[in-house]
Every structure is written in C-alpha cells, then in structure tokens.
Amino acid sequence: MTDIFDPIRYEGVRRPLLDAVSLPPWCYTSDAFYRREVDAILTRSWNLVGRVDEIPNPGDYRVFDLCGRSAIVVRGADGEVRALANTCRHRGTRLLDDSGHCRAIICPYHAWTYRFDGSLSGCRGMEKTRGFEKADHGLAPIRLGIWAGFIFVCFSDESPDLGTWLGDLPEQFGSYRFETFELVRRRHYDLDCNWKLYIENAMEDYHTPTVHRSSIGLQETDLIETVGEWDSIHMESEDTMAVLPGDTTPFPHVEGLEGRPASGDSFTVLYPTTFFGTTKDCMWWLQTIPDGPRRCRVIQGSCFPASTVARSDFGEHVGKYYRRWDKSIPEDNAISERQQAGLESPAAASGRLSVHEPVVHSFANWVLDRTIGRS
C-alpha cells in the first residue's frame, strides 16, 4: 500500500461534510495507523475512569488500563483522589488489578509497601543498600482531573489540563449538577471492532430507525456549538429518553435544568473515547478502551441524582432503564462489529456522508489533525 500517512490520501475526508467521504478502511484495520493513534491521541488525551462516589473511602481504588499504560486511582487518608503509576519502584511489578479496597498498596513480589499518596512506607531487606532513600522511590504520579464527580486521567504531561480540554462543556451541562449524581450500575462489553466505529455510531442518529427499530426507534438531532475537545447533538423531548417507548416512570426530572438540558436530551462525545448520554432524569456514559485496531472494551456507567436513588421505589422502577440500555446497547454493539467485518474486505472503500452524520465527519477530522496533519 502507498504511504497511509500521506495527507493527500485524506483530501476527501477534509472537505466540508456534504462534499466529504468517511475515513478510509485502513484507519480501522491497520496496525500502523493504530500505533500512530496510540502515540498521537490515546495516550495524550483525558479519559474517563469512573465516579468519585465509586471510591468513597480512603483505600478505595480502581485500576485504569489504556494502551499499555496503567493507573491506580485511589482515595487517600486525606480524602484526596490521586492517580499513581501501577508499577513497583523496586523491579517493576504490576501492583493492583480491577477495583477494591486496601489498607496500603503492597507489591505482590517482595512486599514493598506504598501509602495512598504514592510514598514508599516499607521495603524490608533494603537496609544495607547504599545510598537508598525511601523518599526517592515513591510511585510516579499520573495526571488526574475531576469534573462534577467524574474522574479523568491523562498519561501525558504535555497535554492541556482537563479544564481546557472540557472547554465550555461544564457550563453547557452545569444545570444537571452531576456532582449530586451517583453511579448505580457498571457494565462492560468486549467487542470486535475499532474504537472509532463505536464512537461514530454513538454520535449519529442516521442508524436509529433501522438498528433500533424494535427498541428506541427514530431519533432526530441537531449539532450544537461547542468550545473544547467535544461535540454534541441535541434532541428535543418532553420526557426521559432512558426508558423504552411505552414505559413510564415516576422518577422526577433533575431539578433546576436550564437551557438545552431543559428542552431535551444530548449525545455528547468528549474526544476521543468518552460518550455521555444525558436526559431529563439521569445520565449514562460509555468509555471505549481501545485494544488494537480491531478490538475494544466498552464500559457503560448509569448515574441518577442521589435524591432519586434514595427513593423507596427506586429499586422497583430502575429496571425499566436497565431494560432500555440492555436492549439498545447490544444493538449498537452488534452493528459496530458487523461494520468492522465489512471494512475488512479488500473491496471496502471510503463512502459519502449524509446530513445526519456531522460528528462522524468532525471526529474523522479531529483524528486526522492529530495523526496526519494537513498537506
């Protein structure tokens, strides 16, 4: 194949939406393109780890793995949430997996022991080692940012801070007061598709009358203006979109919604890998974790206002929301894997885009800006 990093090959993607084509198939199948994305995008961006309410107590932790990097996100004795490199300062062993609670971070190899701020507190057997100072051997910090109860990490020290990355997203979504929400359920899915296909699907309404014909059905959205590394499409609606048509729910709308959040629902991508679905009474997120060009893991979190979770009838009615997500998300998963299968064909080629796919187009260009640059 001729050079896949030559900007000339992407001129069609660079045109305005209604003149443009989609990214070429190799952007979803090539190891070389994926490696470029890892270096230029994935390890340089802010990625959603989860919620502060998932780790409420000192010693509660969650491990976040992305493209060979690993962070321990842990709440300290002082209440602060920090991210630490998940690699022992003795001879490099991975320290923790998944999530849980610990009294200290103890290496499973020779039991070096770290406090939740990363400092080394115990290292038996090192007494005779010349010039060894515990203070020099703490776990490396990783950049962490919190917005409205959502925890993000970034594996690069050179990227802009989280506030710059988010731009005016906190302002546009401020009236939800997500900091008063709680995560009630996490799900994950391992998929045979490129991570970008998943985000593209989540950010266009063109597929809804076909892929979701027996669940949520047609959704009609408009692109909104944003500042920062995000895009969003908005759909007018009177009530929640997080239950199936015909299901009703007694849960109240979020109090004090203003502006666009008061008039409907939003589908939002925080580039590159995080999606938020926001509606009148709850929100959900999808975090894609790329694993090579042809695989990704998708983690879904469901959040409701704490006041709704505290209702005596919450358990009775939340199942309607789970039914909706557990029907529509597998529909999106299946079509994304099917799209990947088609893109593997030697006959696959870039295709023209519709007026319903503005974020597919802007996402492609966001990716190209960082991986290829302009000719």
Name 60's bridge partners. 101
Toward Fe ion, which CB reaches closer, 51 or 324? 324
User: Is 5 one of the binding residues for ligand FES (CB under 6 A)?
Assistant: no
The least CB distance from residue 137 to ligand FES, in Å, is: 10
Residue 331 beta carbon to Fe ion: minimum distance, rounded to whole angstroms? 6
Contact by Cβ (8 Å): 293, 31: yes
Closest contact distance (angstroms) between CB of 78 and ligand FES is 25
Stretch that binds ligand FES, among 83-91, 244-252, 265-273, 363-371 (CB under 6 A): 83-91
Q: Which is nearer to Fe ion, 144 or 193 (CB)?
A: 193
Assigned token pair, 332: 């999106």
Of 164 and 210, nearer to Fe ion (C-beta) is: 210
d(CA 261, CA 305): 15
Partner touching 91 among ligand FES, Fe ion, none, CB below 5 to 8 Å by kind: ligand FES
Q: Which of 52, 72, 88, 309 binds ligand FES (CB under 6 A)?
A: 88
Residue 205: CB atoms within 10 A of its CB come to: 18
Name the minimum Å distance from CB 103 to ligand FES: 17
Instruction: Please report, for the chain, how many H helices and E strands are present, in that order.
Output: 10, 17
Q: Which residues of 229-264 are buried (b: 16+ CB within 10 A; e: fewer)?
A: bbbbbbbeeeebbbbbeeeebebebbeebeebbeeb
Q: Which is nearer to Fe ion, 25 or 277 (CB)?
A: 277
Query: Judging by beta carbons within 10 Å of its beta carbon (0-12, 13-18, 19+), is residue 8 exposed, middle or buried?
Result: exposed
> Degrees (nearest 5) of the Cα angle 34, 36, 39?
110
Name residues contacting ligand FES, limited to 97-136 (CB under 6 A). Answer: 107, 109-112
Size of the site for ligand FES (CB under 6 A): 9
Q: Which residue is nearest to Fe ion (CB)?
A: 332
The C-alpha atoms of residue 287 and residue 301 are separated, in whole angstroms, by: 9
Residue 54 or 332: the one with the smaller Cβ distance to Fe ion is 332
Residues that bind Fe ion (CB under 5 A): 332
- Enumerate the H helices of the chain as residue ranges: 11-14, 31-40, 162-166, 169-172, 195-202, 208-211, 260-263, 306-309, 314-343, 358-371
Residue type for position 162: L
The reply to whether 84 sits near ligand FES by the rule CB under 6 A is no
35 contacts: CB under 8 Å, gap ≥ 6: none
How many whole angstroms separate alpha carbon 175 and alpha carbon 260? 10
Between 95 and 243, whose beta carbon lies closer to ligand FES?
95
Residue closer to ligand FES (CB basis): 104 or 224: 104
Q: Is 94 in the site for ligand FES (CB under 6 A)?
A: no
Q: How many CB atoms lie within 10 A of CB 351?
A: 10
Q: Which is nearer to Fe ion, 200 or 332 (CB)?
A: 332
Cβ of residue 327: shortest distance to Fe ion, in angstroms? 11
CB of 114 to ligand FES, least distance (A): 10
Extract the tokens encoding 353.
């885009």
Residue 93 lies near ligand FES (rule: CB under 6 A): yes
Residue 332 interface partner, choices ligand FES, Fe ion, none, CB cut-off 5-8 Å depending on type: Fe ion
* Residue 90 interacting with ligand FES (CB under 6 A): yes
Is residue 50 classed as helix, strand or coil in its secondary structure? strand
Site stretch for ligand FES (CB under 6 A), options 29-37, 90-98, 276-284, 341-349: 90-98
Side chain identity, residue 10: Y
Nearer to ligand FES, 122 or 160 (CB): 122
Min CB(89)–ligand FES separation in Å: 8
Could you tell which of Fe ion, ligand FES, none binds residue 110, using a CB distance below 5 to 8 A set by kind? Answer: ligand FES
Contacting residues toward ligand FES, per CB under 6 A: 88, 90-91, 93, 107, 109-112
